[in-house]
Amino acid sequence: MHIDLTGRTALVTGSTQGIGAAIATGLAAAGARVAINGRRPESVDAAIDRIRAAVPAADLVPAPGDVATESGAEGVAELLVGVDILINNLGVFGAQPALEISDADWRRYFDVNVLSAARLTRMFLPGMIGRSWGRIQNIASDSAIAVPAEMIHYGMSKTALLAVSRGFAKEAAGSGVTVNSVIAGPTHTGGVEDFVYELVDRDLPWEQAQREFMREHRPQSLLQRLIEPEEIANMVVYLSSPFASATTGAAVRVDGGYVDAIVP
C-alpha cells in the first residue's frame, strides 16, 4: 500500500517529541505538508531539524503555541491555511493517588487532553467540510477503557476524548470528512520512561525496568512490551489517507492487545 498525501496540510499538536514527533515524521514521509507544534519556538525548531534529518524532503512549518489555551490555539490557527489533517496528540499524564487529585489537577487534565482537541476541531472542521475532505484524529489511550487506579484523572480525559471524537464524526456525517480516535497502548517515549521509573526500581537497567513495569502494572498486554511510537504513527498515517475513507466515528486500537475486549 502506497500512501501519498502530497498536497495535504497536516497539523500535529504536541509534535516536538514522542508519539507526536513520530506521527509528524510519518505524515511528512507520505508527502504531507506538516505543521510542527509545541509551546516553545526553540523546541519546535529543534524538532523540525530532527524530522528533516529523517525525511530530507520534508515540507515542515513551525507552528509554536500552547493549544491548551484559547489564545494559543488561535495563534496557531492564524499561522495555517487549509488544514486537511488534524491530529490532536497533545496530552499530559502522570501517576497520582486518586484521593489526592485536586480540583486544579482535574481541570488541567480536561483542558489539555480534551478541550484542546475540541477547540481545534471546532476551528478546522468547517473548512474541511467546505472542501469535502478532511481527517481528524484524536490520540486516546487504553486508559480510556481500562482506567488505571494510579491515574484516573488521565483515564477520565481519554474516555471523554472518545465521546468528543464520536460526536464530531456525527457532525461531519456525509461530508467526506472522517473523525476517529486512536487508542494507543503503553508506548515507549521519554515521558513514559520517567513514568515507568516512578513505579519500579530506578536502579534497574531500562530493558529490565520495562519488563518489570509490563509484568507488574500492564500484565494484560498481549504484545508484552512497550509499543514504539512509529507503530502508532503507522496507523495514524493510514487513517489520514484516502484508503481509510470508510472509517469514521471509530475508536481504532493500536494497544498491543492490552484492552481485553473484542471491540472497544
Joined together, the cell numbers standing for residue 233 give: 504513527
Predicted local confidence at residue 47, as pLDDT? 98
Alpha-carbon distance of 164 to 169, in angstroms, equals 9
Which one from 109, 154, 197, 238 is the annotated catalytic residue? 154
Closest CA to 255 of 146, 110, 105: 146
User: For residue 249, what are the CA distances in angstroms to 112, 173, 207?
Assistant: 22, 9, 37
Predicted local confidence at residue 264, as pLDDT? 67
The answer to whether 90 and 107 are in contact (CB under 8 A) is no
Question: Is residue 35 left, alpha or beta, with left meaning phi > 0 and alpha meaning psi from -120 to 50?
Answer: beta
Alpha-carbon distance of 72 to 62, in angstroms, equals 14
Stretches in the chain below the pLDDT threshold 70: 264
Alpha-carbon distance of 248 to 128, in angstroms, equals 14
Exposed, middle or buried: residue 73 (CB in 10 Å: 0-12, 13-18, 19+)?
Answer: buried
**For 194-233, what is each residue's pLDDT tens digit?**
889 988 999 999 989 998 999 998 899 999 889 999 999 9
The answer to whether 20 and 14 are in contact (CB under 8 A) is yes
Predicted local confidence at residue 3, as pLDDT? 98
pTM > 0.85: yes
Task: Compute how many other C-beta atoms are within 10 angstroms of the C-beta atom of residue 140.
Answer: 30
| Domains located in the chain, CATH noted | 9-187+228-253 (3.40.50.720), 188-226 (no CATH)
Alpha-carbon distance of 258 to 55, in angstroms, equals 32
Exposed, middle or buried: residue 47 (CB in 10 Å: 0-12, 13-18, 19+)?
Answer: buried
Task: Tell me whether residue 154 is one of the annotated catalytic residues.
Answer: yes
Alpha-carbon distance of 101 to 171, in angstroms, equals 34
Predicted local confidence at residue 261, as pLDDT? 86
Which helix (H) or strand (E) segment holds residue 24: the answer is helix 18-29
